[in-house]
Amino acid sequence: MNTYVLDACALIAVLQDEAGSDKVTSVINMAYIGKAIVLMNKVNLLEVYYDVYRLRGKEQAEIILFEMKKIPVTVISDFSDDIFHEAGRIKATYKISVADAFALAQASVTEGFLLTADHHEFDIIEKKDRIKFDWIR
């Protein structure tokens, strides 16, 4: 069974019905039937929350959090020392945000796939690192 880690852009693609949303929905549907594990770090969920809050207001942002509890995505609130150290290594090695470092670390430590569309951020990492990616577009 594959493990997938959502970054913010993957969830935003679904919320805004963007290109690639079908890929994310397919992975979430696999989790519904027990054929995949889907994770999202709370730091990455924060990115979605503040994006929705900024564009649509607090009420809509809170609805997103409520709806997240209904789908088979495990939101990781605490992080292990392994995640901490791996996020630190990634952040020190590549010029990326802390949130991206956590998403990458979660994928790396769980040996999962980072579900993302952020080629401009991650293409170089895919070429140089052992982290696995599943591109939504």
CATH code of the domain in which 81 resides: 3.40.50.1010
| The pair of three-digit structure tokens given for residue 18, joined into one six-digit string | 């963007």
pLDDT (0 to 100) of residue 5: 98
Burial class (CB in 10 A: 0-12, 13-18, 19+), 68: middle
What total of structural domains would you count in the chain?
1
The predicted model scores a pTM of: 0.94
Burial class (CB in 10 A: 0-12, 13-18, 19+), 91: middle
pLDDT (0 to 100) of residue 83: 96
Q: Tens of pLDDT along 13-70?
A: 999 999 999 999 999 999 999 999 999 999 999 999 999 999 999 999 999 999 999 9
3-class secondary structure, 120:
helix
Average pLDDT over residues 73-84: 95
Distant-in-sequence contacts of 93-99, Cβ < 8 A, 24+ apart: 93/129, 94/124, 94/125, 96/121, 96/125, 98/43, 99/7, 99/8, 99/41, 99/43, 99/44, 99/46, 99/47
pLDDT (0 to 100) of residue 2: 97
Helices of type H across 5-118: 8-15, 21-32, 42-56, 58-68, 81-93, 98-110
Range of the structural domain that residue 124 is part of: 2-135
pLDDT (0 to 100) of residue 92: 97
C-alpha dihedral (44, 5, 76, 71), degrees to nearest 10: 100
pLDDT (0 to 100) of residue 9: 96
Mean pLDDT computed over every residue of the chain:
97
Q: How many CB atoms lie within 10 A of CB 132?
A: 16
